[in-house]
Amino acid sequence: MKPEANSTKLLGVTRSRAKLIEFNVEEQYFNKIYRDPFNLLILTLSILGDVETVNNYV
């Protein structure tokens, strides 16, 4: 399963937000997340399912 463009964009925004938190940047400079990050859970589970499928065939 290939992630959709919107899921990939949301993942990128979430990663950049995590980096801002890691470097203690003030919250006023954070990117706005316009979609619910819970959608990343579906993407993550799909990717894990694909990895498991590949591992079962090896």
Does the predicted model carry a pTM greater than 0.75? Answer: no
Average pLDDT, the chain: 81
- Per-residue pLDDT tens digits for 27-54: 888 877 777 777 778 778 888 888 888 8
User: Phi then psi for 46, rounded to 5 degrees?
Assistant: -65, -45
What is the distance between the alpha carbons of residues 28 and 15, in angstroms, rounded to a whole number? 17
Q: Is 39 exposed, middle or buried (0-12, 13-18, 19+ CB in 10 A)?
A: middle
> Which tokens go with 25?
């940047």
